[in-house]
Structure 1
């Protein structure tokens, strides 16, 4: 026990505690950011410094343990929860592709009209960008997740009732909001674990699994029920309700576990007023070069991904004369490729280097997209589409890991929220433009649009700042 006998000793002790608090803040940074000493016999985040000898000089060193997948133990269940949240995101995003022909037939609408669901989804994502950080500060992590999942559940109830088409478009607004909010929080949670690359791989691999199963379930339900496409949405409704319960339980007390409010430490110092000013954080995020390049990159990435998923079935039906009840499974092959890529190629990507790997993967995706466009063979095209998915799969987790390393911590939540929202904008604008042009020229326009987006991705990725190890 340390005793104090004079005001001078008290001042030294207060200084020690101040330095310790600073060290504790830095302890939650990803493993690349700080040297962490982990005690294998403990899985709790220490809240006290080692006892000092009575005559020892005050020290500012603290023994801390960074959060990981298993530390604290509840993080295992939190990772499972965010994986299920992202699984639902994949299920949701991959279903419209095989369902579009049935929706067109049911409501007697054309390509351009049905494409408005992508626009509504993007508006919901954009609405979430400035709100996610504010909601978490006001409600906490657990209740923000609950709000996001309840907004999804309300939208799925509307879709399952097969309402008039304008109501369908409106229902995609809360879907976009809920998915964007949950995805931003999940990306930040996983990226800031000490083994963040592995956690991000699991998170986005789960999205790929949902994306693979979505077309299979949607095609199976719609084709076996006489085109009653709306019945599919009872499945994501059940998932949304389950996720509401899990998120509320696993993230209860999350702020206490990290021993602080949302992180404010960054590579560049900031005043307390600036750190806790929501408006200033947003302005800083939107002016940051990495944020802007990341937003453009993910805009192009998700634009290509959703365009392929949403329109490859229509392309095979109109240009290759495929049967609607069978070519829907090609979309499942694309998402299966994304899933396999995220689980199997994320580690080699980290070994090679994320920046180099992404450049190679995008170049390969361009090549196989050309095969889908120019080779009129149904089997060959199905295989090529799956390989495009395989190459695109690890790009998102690689990009999330790189952005989390490059972004200052005080704007990380706002920046990743903006990047996520931009991705959904790309996932709306690109398929919407594809639908408009397909109405005039034909569904083959999918391919030049995707290739152009791949080229834009290469350009944005190539001018990102070099990765530098953070120092403390």
Structure 2
């Protein structure tokens, strides 16, 4: 049952990735139809991101009250309805209105599914979960490209993706009773496992602590901010850097950036197998070092071919970081507040992906796009330093807990 249900969760994460790259693919043909400025796509993205941040912050209360299954079902209904609304929108104001439920639905389901997998499944499942997000994010441009290649048929593209989402709604509705059953089976098996050193001490201390006051939580949040900032900034500005500074044609630059996303997707698939041998902490550290190495390769004044290698290495390095940090949440901060902290992490992650790319855009317009690799390298280094400081906090906590056990 748990394996079958995991497939349902994977399908839900494919659907979560589908809308993320849909607007960018369709906007070149949507823009003239709505007589909108080019920058309007950025405004729509910001509205969706704002809704995602709000729902991520509120996800802890929503999940505690209604459960992961119901929240996921309602969120998918919202996103499917919003995509259908995009397909039939007669004017720009309707796109703006439908962007609100699209963001609100994405945030809750993202936080809910991540917490559910972190609490009830192993680390390799978390890596594969985010690999399937990459599958969805890769499929939607292909779907949209199929419809707009022969003309201005972007509405059919949105209708198709909305149909896929409504199909998932039916599946989630039919499997709604499984959420609690799988959770109970998982909890029963976890009770038979040995307790992680320091976790009992943390759970006891967390009973009276607010989530944000638990030691290390703020370091973890800033690590998420810089991670998503790096991931989104490379995706948004990598092509512009390659065209302006390396002299590549726009089509070639776009293809090279797709290799970067391919590195993330393939890297997460491979990471799922590596988790059988290495801990989350080791994979996070190794990924951050590899991402930093890829950024440094972009900084160096080397021929254009090395930039492709830098993008691919950066993508491979980023691959294990996000899913492994998410899976570590209950271990790092205890199961009592893990669900709420997961929502905070989602909110801060979306904040990083919303604010950091525009910040580079402002700096690039004021100075030069040549700042791109330095911006990525500094952000990757900040993520590494924050993560290592968090590791020291966790190590000290485990040592204190071990000492208190020995004394007793």
Match of 2:195 in 1: none
Match of 1:255 in 2: 180
- How do residues 220-259 of structure 1 correspond to structure 2 at under 5 angstroms? 221-222=147-148, 224-226=149-151, 231-255=156-180, 258-259=183-184
Structure 1: runs of 5 or more not aligned: 1-72
**d(CA) in 2 for partners of 1:156, 1:244:** 13
**d(CA) in 1 for partners of 2:309, 2:203:** 51
**d(CA) in 2 for partners of 1:213, 1:369:** 27
Q: Aligned-residue CA RMSD in angstroms?
A: 3.6
- How do residues 3-402 of structure 1 correspond to structure 2 at under 5 angstroms? 73=1, 75-96=2-23, 107=35, 109-110=37-38, 114-161=41-88, 164-165=91-92, 167-193=94-120, 195-218=121-144, 221-222=147-148, 224-226=149-151, 231-255=156-180, 258-259=183-184, 267=200, 268=202, 284-320=210-246, 322-324=248-250, 327-348=253-274, 351-372=277-298, 380-402=306-328
CA contact (8 A) 2:118 2:329 kept: no
CA contact (8 A) 1:201 1:346 kept: yes
**d(CA) in 2 for partners of 1:416, 1:124:** 17
Greater helix percent: which structure? Answer: 2
CA contact (8 A) 1:124 1:174 kept: yes
Q: Which moved more, 1:410-419 or 1:447-456?
A: 447-456
Match of 1:17 in 2: none
Aligned length: 386
Q: How has the CA–CA distance of structure 1 residues 99 and 289 changed in structure 2, closer, same or farther, with 3 Å as cutoff?
A: farther
1:447 to 373, 392, 395: 373
**1:269 CA drift (Å):** 5.7
**1:138 CA drift (Å):** 3.4
**1:119 CA drift (Å):** 2.5
- How do residues 414-453 of structure 1 correspond to structure 2 at under 5 angstroms? 414-453=340-379
**d(CA) in 2 for partners of 1:167, 1:437:** 32
Tell me the secondary structure at the aligned position of residue 289 of structure 1.
coil
Q: How has the CA–CA distance of structure 1 residues 254 and 365 changed in structure 2, closer, same or farther, with 3 Å as cutoff?
A: closer
Match of 2:394 in 1: 466
**1:229 CA drift (Å):** 5.1
CA contact (8 A) 1:97 1:331 kept: no
Structure 2: runs of 5 or more not aligned: 192-198
Please say which structure displays the higher CA radius of gyration. 1
**d(CA) in 1 for partners of 2:155, 2:307:** 29
Q: How has the CA–CA distance of structure 1 residues 247 and 378 changed in structure 2, closer, same or farther, with 3 Å as cutoff?
A: farther
